[in-house]
Structure 1
Amino acid sequence: MARFEVPDGSTVQAYRFALDPTPVQARALASHAGAARFAHNHMLTLVKAVMDQRAAERSYGIAEEELTPALGWSLPALRKVWNQRKTFCAPWWPENSKEAYNTGLDSLARGLDAWSRSRHGLRSGKAVGFGRFKTARARRSVRFTTGTIRVEPDRHHVTLPRVGTIRTHESTRKLARRIEAGTARILSATVNQDSSGRWYCSFQTLVTAKTRPAHAPRSSQRIVGVDVGVRADGLLVVATPDGCEVARVPAPRSLSAAQRRLRMLQRRAARQHGPYDPVAQTKRRPSKRWRATQARIGKTHAHAAAVRRDVLHKATTSLAQQHQVVVVETLNVAGMRAKGGVRKRGLNRALADAAVAEVRRLLEYKSRWYGSELVAADRFYPSSKTCSGCGRRKPNLTLADRVFECDGCGVRIDRDLNAAINLARLGEPADAGEQGPAGSGPVAGRGATRETDPAKAGDAAGDEASTPHHHQVDQTGTASPQGEAA
């Protein structure tokens, strides 16, 4: 059960700002992130040791009630044990905020709970493995929920516990205005470092009266379908049920544009003194030039991600603000990239470069913000293989066929536009206020799913600051039978 319920008329939104810390503040942030990693790894070691000890005792025939006491996996249980052990295992613990250690324990509790639920069939999706140790190269992140967390009135500084007031690269006026007006309240702050080495602070806030801006125009096309692709000329193809193409957003292909630079930098790094000695097959201290090259590689990847994120945010915001009903397809992107090996690495890179799954995720919360409705077609709905003119299917359509030619009515139309028209027609029953049956109208196939539920706790929109706390723990001080290895 969620710890926090979002009040009616409010939503949870995240505001993300790039930080410009001093060298002392950067070291403090790195220390907090390292403390979170240490707490996670230390308690994971203890959990594994207790599980192994109990398994060994069972093999000796020891009765269940005489086994070594189990260690609880809930966040309160892990925090209680950590507080008992931190004095001798981490004598430097007062140097950082308690929120740093709580961040590591919280991630461990979530991982163990997900693994336990996945083992017993209580969690949907792919199987979740047992928790892993976090290495020094893992992403640095720490979350603050208590203490002094605020945006300064000068709109160029933020204040965090133990770290102090940090300057931001950009203005914080959007969040500051809402806080001053009393329409926003900060719930938590998450600080993380990206691949380029830059620190960011994401404020998770409770915002009231989040509606469509008055200056945002409504389009005359109430219902549109959105087909997502990976080609340079068609990242998003937007069309209406009557066959009119509304927009065509080109793919930025930022990762493909950076490939030449990445190849040059990665070859340079391979010639330098790296962290691994291939001759002795041992770890070694990397050179300063290798570290500098790795920093440039990280900046290149960060720039490509920023360009991609900018294009997707602008396109999805325009769709949610201008149209009443937006229909998207449900894509199993992980399955699309799962197999194929070397022969389809170009397609896999294009799928990753386009971030096709992000379109639906962004539209899910933006449609709630701006009062529009999002309809998701079934995963197996054949939008590309169905003729938008007569509804006849063409099962032998391949990815190389960019023009759809119907064998029945003879219509010849762009493949992506044809799919967008079929998707748009799925939104007509939703616009009428009812869910149409599967296969109704000219688009035969499965039905669609309406996704207009209110925001749940922790649904941090935009750049998400954190994940929701959903702990359903059936432990009372000790782990339940499902909380340990058999």
Structure 2
Amino acid sequence: MGWGQDSAVAGRGGCLVNTVLQAYRFALDPTPTQEEALRSHCGAQRFTYNWGLAVVKANLDQRAAERSYGIADADLTAAVDWSAYSLRKHWNQIKNETAPWWAENSKEAYSSGMANLAAALSNWSTSRSRTRKGRRVGFPRFKGKRSALSCRFSTGAFGLADSDRRHVRLPRIGIVRTHESTRKLARRVDAGTARIRSATVSFRRGRWFVSFSVQVQRTSPAPVPRATAAPSVVGVDLGVKTLAVLSTGEMIENPKHLEHAQKKLRRLNRQAARRVGWDKRTGQQPSSRWLHTQDRVAKLLAYVADARRDGLHKLSTRLVRTHDVVVLEDLNVAGMLRTRSLARHIAGVGMGEVRRQSVYKAGWQGTTVHIADRWYPSSKTCSACGEVKAKLSLKKRVFKCDCGLRMDRDLNAARNLAALVQASSPSCGATVNEPDGTPRKARTVRAAGIATGRLTPRVSQGRGREVPAQGTDFHIP
């Protein structure tokens, strides 16, 4: 479920009415005819994506070949404009010759494929020019028939059906029954506090889904005056053995959904290995028994993912509703997954999902989410005296300090995170965003004996610029 703030106006009783973008996803129960139509639309989206990519790639290859012969840039073949509007205009000119069957599907299926291609090319271009943050993005690849099925509708007759709250309407496909009730969204639409902007159908783990992008008006509670009520601050330390340890002393056990499903998952994988599957080298088609086993694997993984997502939603909702300030760590989850011995256990926790859900839900509740610096030694710092240990191995689960403190290492880290905000922000609810840490640059020298996480800035060697030394606050007024 994603969201984005558009505006905020004052409501009754001092409450704030925020206009956010929220996703509502429902499982579908289509008929065989409707499922065939859904696959046709997703195939049309893939077809236009590959068509546009072939046009752009041929143009780039032609220009590269001309450069190799010493032709000046001014005399090269004109570059193809890969914006979604230009690709759509080109498609309308050649669609009758290239795809005479295009009228069988909604025009939105073709438009969504070109929009996805334009976004992929833009990400590649900005990443290549070093104007895009994060990991390098490669050139888009062609999509095969086994790629994920999805299609987006932004115009046409789509939304909730008028008959009851168990059906949705999709362009050219008609009214499709949902596996679950749509009453939560229907009530908002009927009250005039929600407007459906787009619909995306997708096939995931053996089931069809429809996701509505909805513009919702949410009423946040009135903020409590800081002069009369002390803010509630909680530090959250995420882990593998324990899902989360709060600075209040509460420990939330890790349900380990993926670990409990490993026995059945291994048995199904061994069963699939004994049957005839895909073979790209020889063109071997899979047997019906192999496909049946893969469906069972998909259902098992879907159960694990749904159970994990449900638990994380309950955790993040409780955090933002019961506390004024939530402090989380900026964990390098992608780097942690490179550890072979812990990769599966870390992936089964969903640490990044806790942060994502807490950030957008904090905007609904008027809560502040503080992200501590990635290099802040929360586990190595004593929460009583502030001494920072040089080394602390992962197998040591009890933190011991010369000052006499003896405490669970995760609880000690959670208390350090809570003290980090209390020490760095006197109001304990600062609304001014602080710059992100710089995990990709050289580390900086830390001030010893403090528990605030502040860094002593210094000029990085070979770079000639200072490294910021603060964390990041996400606060939606």
**Structure 1-normalised TM-score?**
0.84
Residue 121 of structure 1: SS of its match in structure 2?
A: coil
**Contact conserved, 1:186 with 1:203, CA < 8 A, in 2?**
yes
State whether residues 166 and 177 of structure 2, in contact with CA within 8 Å, keep that contact through their aligned partners in structure 1: yes
Indicate if the aligned counterparts of 2:240 and 2:349 stay in contact, CA closer than 8 A: yes
The DSSP-based 3-state class of the residue aligned with 1:400 is coil
* Distance 1:443-1:121 versus aligned 2 partners, 3 A rule: same
1:235 has 2:230 as partner: no
Q: Deviations over 1:119-161 (max 9, x none)?
A: 1110011111111111222111111101112212411111011
Which deviations, in whole Å up to 9, do the C-alpha atoms of 1:261-282 show, x marking residues without a partner?
11111111111111118xxx41
Q: Give the aligned partner of residue 466 of structure 2.
A: none
Which of 237, 252, 257 is the aligned partner of 1:254?
257
SS of equivalent to 1:147: coil
Aligned with residue 186 of structure 2, among 136, 157, 176 = 176
- What per-residue deviation string (whole Å, max 9, x for no partner) do you get for residues 50-101 of structure 1? 1111111122233333322211121111111222222222111111111111
Which residue does 2:419 correspond to in 1? Answer: 425
Summarize deviations over 1:429-479 as a string: whole Å, max 9, x none.
Answer: 26445589997995142343111257xxxxxxxxxxxxxxxxxxxxxxxxx
Are 2:308 and 1:308 equivalent residues in the alignment? yes
Map of 1:302-381 to 2, 5 A cutoff?
A: 302-338=302-338, 344-381=339-376
The one of 39, 63, 75 aligned to 1:30: 39
The TM-score normalised by the length of structure 2 is 0.86
**How far apart are 1:332 and its partner, in Å?**
0.9
Residue matched to 1:166: 176
Q: 1:125-164 alignment to 2 at 5 Å?
A: 125-153=134-162, 154-164=164-174
Task: Tell me if structure 2 keeps the 8 A contact 1:112–1:130.
Answer: yes
The C-alpha deviation readout for 1:188-234, integer Å capped at 9, x for no partner, is 11111112x11111111111134359xxxxx9971101111111xx1
What amino acid does structure 2 have at the position aligned with 1:448?
G
What is the CA deviation profile of residues 380-417 of structure 1, one whole-angstrom value per residue up to 9, with x for unaligned ones?
Answer: 111111111111111210111111111x3121101111
Aligned positions of 1:96-111 closer than 5 A:
96-111=105-120
C-alpha distance in 2 between matches for 1:50 and 1:16 = 39
Residue type matched to 2:368 in 1?
A: E
CA distance in 1, matches of 2:320, 2:39: 38
**Is the 8 Å Cα contact of residues 95 and 102 (structure 2) preserved in structure 1?**
yes
Contact 1:426 1:448 in 2 (8 A): no
RMSD of the alignment, in Å? 2.3
The answer as to 2:459 corresponding to 1:449 is no
SS at match of 1:314: helix
> Which whole-Å CA distance do the structure 2 matches of 1:436 and 1:414 have between them?
32
Note the C-alpha offset of 1:425.
1.3
* 1:274 and 2:274 are equivalent in the alignment: no
Q: Which has the higher contact order (CA 8 A, sep 6+)?
A: 1
- In structure 1, how many angstroms separate the alpha carbons of the residues matched to 2:255 and 2:107? 42
Q: Give structure 1 regions of 4+ aligned residues with deviation exceeding 4 angstroms.
A: 433-442
Structure 1 runs not aligned, ≥5 long: 214-218, 339-343, 455-486
Q: 2:234 matched to which residue of 1? A: 224
Distance apart, 1:250 and its partner CA = 1.6
Q: Identity percentage over the alignment?
A: 51
User: Does residue 58 in structure 1 map to residue 52 in structure 2?
Assistant: no
Look up the match of 1:483.
Answer: none
Report the CA distance shift for 1:221/1:403 in structure 2 as closer, same or farther (over 3 A).
farther
1:283 is matched with: 283
Amino acid at match of 1:412: R
